Structure 1
């Protein structure tokens, strides 16, 4: 299918879904946070759609982007009107300027490249197309230790946010790096497929992180490091090279990789598709299962899965290692958990998702 047509259909379906969700707000109770959770979910959906329009600028003409912009404004207006009816003093309002049209495909209006744009701050002439811009060092858009002029996704994630689900774009990043986060639900959108260097997930606690969308149809990540992770659910997506898993505890992982090396981990369930023998060292309480079918692609199915051929390098006896075992079919999570619970929904907290996948309460 032509990319323009494919995106048009996706955009149309997304707008219809958001409009349906907005229509349901009037039937939700304002007590107990039900309406608040639903509103947060809608706001996250609008933000995601804005980001996707910006990402699609490379193959959509300006006229189409104008139509998409107007459609998003219409959704925003409908949300504002609905909230005004059910909660007149609601703080969830999209501010407008006198500008009739905002081209979200233009770099100066991309909310990830220029946080606070899209009519949320005064226009800066230095941000206009053709204006001189310092791009030194932008090739390394890696999260963590970044120059001050570059986007720090970890800093962005640490800020208070209306949505319970964070969807950082990483559209300009060469690698994925998320660190020093607690209690977040993070889902990478398809724009993160542009990352072509090995990434890392470090110092995470009580988080749900899903990296699978960028690699479901696009190229796999070249490599990935997990380090210092506790009570997390992590879906790594497809990785063409090695995945190094160090100092992970009380967690559930979904991993698709050519090689997997696991060091100093305990009480971890790993749903795995691996082209070679997984290797563990200094580990205990490791439980392995095959990859859930909902994450399998044709490329994965054509490769032998050696998920249960685990080598324990610290167990030299001829008897089976006591440090790992396999999950029986009855113990494995079913596809409904992966497809309906893990992606999140209004009213479902990170803690509830962790409990659903078998991670005990803290």
Structure 2
């Protein structure tokens, strides 16, 4: 039928053409168009009948995913059974290659998530998380890191000066960590504790501080366990390191908040920038100008800022944080491909959120520095 229509159009054009040269050119042009049309038609038919691509269907994707997953698992099992010296010498490079293979598997899910059912995406991401955990365990078992230990001489010297350091406001020293090892989470990062004023090495305490300045001070929270922290007024920056089972309520921060190694905590924070490293099982109630950033974290949840104290509205306005941008829920996980939802964070369900928390700055605790 299409050929008849093409011939009819050709005849009509020829009937209208009086110049033989023009008629000849038109005929050649129509022939080229006809050939192009036939070529495109054949290409379309070929695409419909071609099932050779391994990613055209969910089944073919799952087959490829399962094969890659099985290969990684087998290689992990092989690494665990290595006994000869030559193979042991290659363990580091083998485990690094496995890490790259898992990354490729993540990329595979990301590139094909547009046609995969949501259940298959979740299942694939769960499998990848399990592979990462197995790889991490293999690294810990097969390539253990040397444990860091303080020299006895330095430890004794710092222990003698620990009390005076905390009371006189001198900078943090090694002795602070040695005095209260029970408050420190398992070490994952080489954290440099700043010598700014702050609360450090406390257990089961309510720590309150009000800032009367115009947002010029930095403040540090470090090595706290089962504490409640209330910081009111305006600050310039807050640094939070190694907290466990704590509740932290902070007024507006003009600059940034850095959080490293926290577990089973609740935070209410307002800042222009918030960055979170190594957090686990922790809820964050935020008001933030830029997108919050998480790295190497798991089971962290986010909700809007729910804090209240006398003068908070003015503090937020003076800090440029009086309007909620909604960025509390626009989280960037720097360890996850952005094409699909990261499994490491989620929005805190409304029925599980705490109500507005009202705090007072009537009492002020002494700082550690």
Give yes or no for TM over 0.5. no
What TM-score do you get using the length of structure 2 for normalisation? 0.42
What TM-score do you get using the length of structure 1 for normalisation? 0.43
Bigger radius of gyration among the two: 2
